Structure 1
């Protein structure tokens, strides 16, 4: 488990870095208004999830994390589409973020994570989204009308991952900790450690 010592220190004081010409701050990582969120919006622990729809480890972890968040009830989940594995990863990120504009990001995320393997083609992704109840006509409309917003969000996510020194997906920020693949018990332990860290910080 990596502790974000220097990175968190810089984040706390304001700007972490400039990556790809984009200023990266703690506020934008945790509270980008365009970033999809799930769980409890008032949760006492925030999990920031950098993910790629072509990542087999992300697919392994996704249902475990969803279970932990549902059972806990006090976790805020921030999704960061970080398409770094294959060229079609950018297709998945765009599709999921377009679905966010019809209020169905989490349904889209679960559907895309449910496609087995890596190197998933865009038509497979669209088929999975349609099966999950995503309005594909609306999706295409939002992909066109909101393309600038979607591309800007992906660029911010990429810059944040670069500034944090992330090396692959999945990558999670949980309180002061940075982690990768976890099992159920691992998530529970790190969440407990994050709460304890916050309690110590607040005295």
Structure 2
């Protein structure tokens, strides 16, 4: 349909007619043949027309996606920014909020972790909300259950330490390595392990997954900065520029 419309528009330009003046369905076979030859000749002489049309189409699609994302964020603002259970870090009273959906087995999340930490340290006025979104298999889910259980049992400070450690972790995630991590932080490994499969932990992860589905998030890391969805890894400089833009 796009090619057919483009061809009609090209022929109309050739003949100096409005595109809507051409009704392809009413053409005879001879008229169609003439039409094809005219279009081909026009496009051979003006190949940039195709690239221009593709560029305009891509720009319109990007604008439509951006508007759709704005609507999704607005419709789910309460669950994004004030769900009552997600970890809140950075400056809790900051003038702008950054939400991150993460998976501890995601290599790009691990790269983003340092960039986000640098942003929080250099800016000092950003509120960070972390959403546990394990999507990369059993080890991802095990790590998230451990992190959420730590938060629910031992509080936000313990969660922050565990979150950092899990992001820096390079080996496989197992209950043995998680218990060792808990002991390193002086946490009650038995209590945390016993709580990992609780309904409270399951419900938090389930609610975050439902939120991600509503937001059409399929990969990590995904960020929400104020009112905008940002899909994928972003380096520090780009994040800071976006923060400055949102403040402006």
**Same fold, judged at TM 0.5 (above):** yes
In structure 2, the CA distance between the partners of 1:11 and 1:137, relative to structure 1 (3 Å rule), is same
**Which structure carries more relative contact order (alpha carbon 8 Å, separation 6+)?**
1
Cα deviation digits, residues 155-174 of structure 1 (max 9, x gap): 11101111111121111111
Residue of 95, 98, 106 corresponding to 2:160: 106
Q: Which has the higher strand share?
A: 1
2:177 and 2:200 mapped to 1: Cα distance? 24
1:131 and 1:187 mapped to 2: Cα distance? 32
Paired position in structure 2 for 1:9: 71
Structure 2: state its 5+ residue gaps.
Answer: 1-61
Are the aligned partners of 1:56 and 1:116 in contact in 2 as well (CA < 8 Å)?
no
Q: Which has the higher helix share?
A: 2
Q: Which moved more, 1:74-83 or 1:108-117?
A: 108-117
Paired position in structure 2 for 1:183: 235
**Cα distance, 1:66 vs structure 2:** 1.1
1:132 and 1:9 mapped to 2: Cα distance? 41
In structure 2, the CA distance between the partners of 1:192 and 1:92, relative to structure 1 (3 Å rule), is same
What SS class does the counterpart of residue 168 from structure 1 fall into?
coil
Are the aligned partners of 1:111 and 1:129 in contact in 2 as well (CA < 8 Å)?
no
What SS class does the counterpart of residue 209 from structure 2 fall into?
helix
Q: Which has the larger radius of gyration?
A: 2
Paired position in structure 2 for 1:39: 90
**Cα distance, 1:141 vs structure 2:** 4.3
Are the aligned partners of 1:57 and 1:169 in contact in 2 as well (CA < 8 Å)?
yes
Cα deviation digits, residues 103-135 of structure 1 (max 9, x gap): 211111001111026x53343333334324433
**Cα distance, 1:153 vs structure 2:** 0.9
Runs of 4 or more consecutive aligned structure 1 residues displaced over 4 Å after TM superposition: 1-4
Are the aligned partners of 1:108 and 1:134 in contact in 2 as well (CA < 8 Å)?
no
- Residues paired across the two proteins, number: 182
2:118 and 2:110 mapped to 1: Cα distance? 14
What SS class does the counterpart of residue 178 from structure 1 fall into?
strand
Provide TM-score, normalisation by structure 2. 0.67
Are the aligned partners of 2:69 and 2:228 in contact in 1 as well (CA < 8 Å)?
no
Provide TM-score, normalisation by structure 1. 0.81
